[in-house]
């Protein structure tokens, strides 16, 4: 049973990856952030340099991770993904940083959960591309400095107030707040996702799902997938407004998404 559950979770993650935008044109919303990032990327490419470090913040599900992947695609760069809780020791960070190649992007999700010691080691890595490591303890301890290749750190957080001021100041490429989406933007996202999934969906169904999505693309896609399941079981070849309402009532989601 555990193996089956794991497979279901992997399939759902794979589906989420499929729905993730692959280009700026496919990424709906956050127009001001996109304009700023396009300028930053173009200027860096013309200089032949990696882009400066970036920080994205805002509630979960608004597209912070997607932006990081879009930037990596635009730069034709590899992206290495980790999270604040996963970097427990200095050795963990050192291993990640020393395995980066020139031009790579390091994406750290939940950056507010980095511990203070890790932050201290990260500062010189971001500013001077060097890594200071202390070997040994007591009088015999010594410090070695490792040179790092040019790389870009993209950090994401849902709780920017928990990030220390020194760390926030290192994101010279900019700090960007992702806003909630409009209902029209959510409907466009639903329409795109439905097309990818091969689902017929009418305007009424898109409106019902959008209203209950809490203006968050991740929630909208999750509700769309549940409506698809309901339509399949009901032997319906399309998601109508009535079918969407029945699905959402079954999920006990009210008109404001609660």
Which residues are marked as active site? 64-65, 109, 158, 218
The H or E element that residue 163 is part of is none
Indicate the burial class of 203 (C-beta count within 10 angstroms; 0-12, 13-18, 19 or more). exposed
SS3 assignment, position 208: helix
Long-range contacts of residues 13-20, Cβ cutoff 8 Å, at least 24 apart: 15/225, 16/221, 18/196, 19/193, 19/196, 19/197, 19/221, 20/66, 20/69
Cα(65)–Cα(56) distance, integer angstroms: 9
Q: Which two tokens stand for residue 28?
A: 């709906």
Contact 27, 34 (CB under 8 A): yes
Contact 26, 146 (CB under 8 A): no
Residue in the block written with tokens 């959008």: 210
SS3 content of the chain, % helix, strand, coil (to 5): 50, 15, 35
Contact 84, 112 (CB under 8 A): yes
Q: What is the dihedral of CA 210, 212, 214, 218, to 10 degrees?
A: -70
């Amino acid at each position: 049973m555990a193996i089956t559950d794991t497979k279901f979770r992997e399939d759902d993650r794979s589906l989420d990856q499929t729905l993730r935008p692959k280009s700026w044109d496919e990424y709906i919303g956050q127009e001001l952030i996109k304009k700023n990032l396009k300028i930053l990327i173009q200027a860096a490419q013309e200089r032949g340099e990696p882009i400066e470090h970036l920080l994205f913040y805002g509630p979960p599900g608004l597209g912070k991770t997607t932006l990081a992947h879009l930037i990596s695609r635009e730069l034709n760069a590899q992206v290495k993904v980790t999270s604040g809780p996963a970097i427990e020791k200095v050795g963990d960070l050192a291993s990640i940083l020393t395995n980066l190649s020139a031009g790579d992007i390091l994406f750290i999700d939940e950056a507010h959960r980095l511990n203070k010691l890790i932050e201290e080691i990260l500062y010189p890595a971001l500013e001077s591309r060097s890594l200071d490591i202390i070997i040994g303890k007591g009088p015999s301890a010594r410090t070695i400095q490792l040179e790092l290749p040019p790389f870009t750190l993209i950090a994401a957080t849902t709780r920017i107030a928990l990030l220390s001021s020194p760390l926030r100041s290192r994101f010279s490429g900019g700090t960007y707040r992702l806003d909630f989406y409009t209902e029209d933007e959510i409907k466009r996202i639903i329409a795109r996702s439905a097309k990818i999934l091969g689902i017929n969906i009418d305007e009424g169904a898109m409106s019902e799902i959008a209203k209950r999505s809490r203006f968050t693309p991740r929630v909208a896609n999750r509700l769309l997938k549940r409506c698809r399941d309901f339509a399949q079981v009901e032997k319906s070849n399309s998601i109508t407004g009535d079918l969407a309402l029945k699905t959402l009532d079954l999920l006990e989601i009210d008109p404001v998404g609660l």
